Amino acid sequence: MSEHGRINMCEINCEKERPKAKKPLLIEDLSLRDGHQSLFATRGRTEDMIPVAERMDEVGFWAMEVWGGATFDTMHRFLNEDPWERIRTLKRYVKKTPFSMLLRGQNLVGYRNYADDVAKAFVNRAADNGMDVFRTFDALNDYRNFEAVAPVIKSCGKHFQGCICYSLTEPRMGGTVYTLEYYVNKAKELVDMGADSICVKDMAGLMAPYDAYALIKALKENVDVPINLHSHFTSGMAPMTHLKAVEAGVDILDTCLTPYAYRTSHPALEPMVMSLIGTDRDTGFDIETLASINETLEKEILPKYRHLLDDTKVSVIDINVLLHQTPGGMLSNLVNQLRDMDALDRIGEVYKELPRVRKELGQIPLVTPTSQIVGTQTVNNVLFDTPDERYKMITAQVKDLCYGLYGKTAVPIDAEVQKKALKGYDRGEEPISCRPAEVLKPELEAAKAEIKGLAVDEDDLILYTLFPVTGKKFLQRKYGKEAVPESMKSITLDDVERQADIIKKAKAGELVESKLNGESPEKTECLRTFNVFVDDECFEVGVDEVGGAPVIAYAQPAQAAPPAAPGQPVPLQGGTVPPPPPAPAASAPAPKAAPATAAKPAAPAAKPAAAAATGAPVTAPMPGMIIKYEKNVGDAVKKGDTVVVLEAMKMENALPAPADGEITALNFGSGDSVSKGDVLAVIG
């Protein structure tokens, strides 16, 4: 308890008046992981955590979540920070409070199942670097995906927290799949695996207060390990859900400090602390310490992140979650994808198709990565299906799901959809029923050979193995082989002040910067601009990138090199016809491994329409990024063979040859961004 606290809050904080509770509610703080992941696109920097780290250590949290989920990806991809270094740095300031991370089971901190050797090495290194609590989840609640990591967590002497992803098929808990019995059985499974505690992970904020009461009570009656509730605020129910969970005897609740709370994040800590004072669940936390941390965050830290906050809505509650059970992150992905396709007017159809696709794909919970898998397939169905054919364009990830590569779905996948998805699937047309990682070959040795010389230690090697394209780029920057782009550097309070200054000048009519006729300019990831709105006017201020959800590119094991035959460069533009008049960017060789983000070519790629005239074109049905070409120039192809794999909305789409023939041109390279309608290849 701080001196400060005693002076100002004597009634609340005097030991005499506030006896220690019989069973204090334990709190895991999520501000430094889920908090900024939910509100600020995971862009929180380590340097902005340090000013509050020591005081946070004094609060008395059961654990602080500081890592995992999207942090590993975002840090190396966008912030030029070594994810491993963050744990070590924060550990120097936070000496008492255990660190917690979110581990996506066999997906680790990525978006696919990795081989067992990678999974084990990752957990070992995370433990060595200072991780204490491993909150482990699987999107399908298939705990065979914990079999590789759980024993390593235990053997490192760390806390294995098993998650149950909370999902619904009706407005309230029940129905035929996600029943009370389902959750109790899952909890028992976790205890049998050696879970030290159980977390109910309500990622979309779907849990209603009275369902929480019934669920937590049932779990407390059936298992002996502590129960932790993680419920996002998104729908607005979570504070009520929290209170009912406390009444039902929940052991640990997840909250955020106020500046990181609400919207798609979590309920705030402080109201819960105040609500429980004087009860037998009193947290014992000093409200003045919390207030002082909040003040620092509010004044010195959050101004640097405010521009990332989704300010398109006034309301802090997302009603769509209640209507359509579409988690916030998933919804913004769907909207972005439809907007890219000029099809935003079809969002209603997407909402209608989504429950149907989810059901056909085994009624799976919607959480990373299944939310993207179901969401993207739904968009594909709405945009490309015809009245007589559904699932016309099936993503690679849906094929993997149908094969069993993510695990066992809650109910069997629709037989017809499964058969269609697995037709010609490269691992085989018969789905597997074993633990998914059993069909995966070890990956570390191959990765080591590929990245030789650039990965200095095991942490580097794991980073590269998980994210071959962006990981390699990061290592090149880390070891000074590539410059750090301006867009990755942090902004300072000075930058923020400069922005405020511009607003002031604008208000005084002293500003002559570009006025955009009252129309909002398009936001891009690359521009590092602030759009400063003053009354009805908009000023573009070049300071930092504007918003955007973390781009999760599907980094395939790195054979994503362009199919250029030695000495015979692939014609980038124009195919077999003479190249168009000199365009600087067009004559450069295809980049070997362009950033997996929406890196746009220096000059917009001209559509090689001329080439299309000489053969059958393979066109991009949607904007996206070329992952790889499956064929080389000169290869013979049959109609339906996969020519190119295009990533759109984080999912891969195999584009087939429209006719028999020979590949006469491949117009782009791996990593290139393409627009809808671009000719990607030509078959002569």
Is the CB of 34 or the CB of 48 nearer to Co ion?
34
Question: What is the distance between the alpha carbons of residues 552 and 455, in angstroms, rounded to a whole number?
Answer: 22
State in angstroms the smallest separation of the CB of 506 from Co ion: 38
Q: Provide CB contacts within 8 A for 109, sequence distance 6+.
A: 68, 69, 70, 71, 72, 73, 83, 103, 122, 466
Q: Helix (H, G, I), strand (E, B), or coil: what is residue 537? A: strand
Is the CB of 29 or the CB of 34 nearer to Co ion?
34
State in angstroms the smallest separation of the CB of 201 from Co ion: 7
How far from the centroid of its chain's Cα atoms is residue 672's Cα? 22
State in angstroms the smallest separation of the CB of 641 from Co ion: 41
Residue number of the CB closest to Co ion reads 34
Task: Catalogue the long-range contacts made by 480-483 (C-beta closer than 8 Å, 24 or more residues apart).
Answer: 481/454
Contact present, 248 and 216 (Cβ < 8 Å) = yes
Question: What is the distance between the alpha carbons of residues 591 and 597, in angstroms, rounded to a whole number?
Answer: 14
Is the CB of 34 or the CB of 443 nearer to Co ion?
34
β-pair type (252-255, 537-541): unpaired
Question: What is the distance between the alpha carbons of residues 440 and 436, in angstroms, rounded to a whole number?
Answer: 7
Is the CB of 34 or the CB of 81 nearer to Co ion?
34
Should residue 254 be labelled a site residue for Co ion when binding is judged by CB under 5 A? no
Is the CB of 208 or the CB of 413 nearer to Co ion?
208
State in angstroms the smallest separation of the CB of 163 from Co ion: 10
DSSP per residue, 482-528? SPPPGGGSPP-HHHHHHHHHHHHHHHTT---SPB-TTPPPPP-SSS-
Is the CB of 116 or the CB of 202 nearer to Co ion?
202
Question: What is the distance between the alpha carbons of residues 6 and 8, in angstroms, rounded to a whole number?
Answer: 6
Nearest residue to 549 (alpha-carbon basis) of 232, 262, 280, 332: 332
Is the CB of 34 or the CB of 360 nearer to Co ion?
34
Token duo for residue 468:
């071959």
State in angstroms the smallest separation of the CB of 284 from Co ion: 25
Question: What is the distance between the alpha carbons of residues 107 and 551, in angstroms, rounded to a whole number?
Answer: 17
Q: For residue 108, what is the DSSP state?
A: T
State in angstroms the smallest separation of the CB of 230 from Co ion: 6
Question: What is the distance between the alpha carbons of residues 583 and 334, in angstroms, rounded to a whole number?
Answer: 35
Is the CB of 34 or the CB of 211 nearer to Co ion?
34
State in angstroms the smallest separation of the CB of 166 from Co ion: 11
DSSP per residue, 263-317? TTSB-BHHHHHHHHTTSTT-----HHHHHHHHHHIIIIIGGGTGGGS--S-S-SS
Is the CB of 263 or the CB of 478 nearer to Co ion?
263
* Residues between 18 and 77 that touch Co ion (CB under 5 A): 34
Size of the site for Co ion (CB under 5 A): 1
Strand partners, 26: 252
Q: Taking each helix axis as running N to C, give the angle between helix 370-384 and helix 347-360, from 0 to 180 degrees, rounded to the nearest 10.
A: 120
State in angstroms the smallest separation of the CB of 216 from Co ion: 18
State in angstroms the smallest separation of the CB of 263 from Co ion: 13
* Residues between 452 and 481 that touch Co ion (CB under 5 A): none
Q: Helix (H, G, I), strand (E, B), or coil: what is residue 475? A: helix
Q: Residue type for 461, please?
A: L
Is the CB of 242 or the CB of 528 nearer to Co ion?
242
Is the CB of 34 or the CB of 318 nearer to Co ion?
34
Chain contacts with Co ion (rule: CB under 5 A): 34
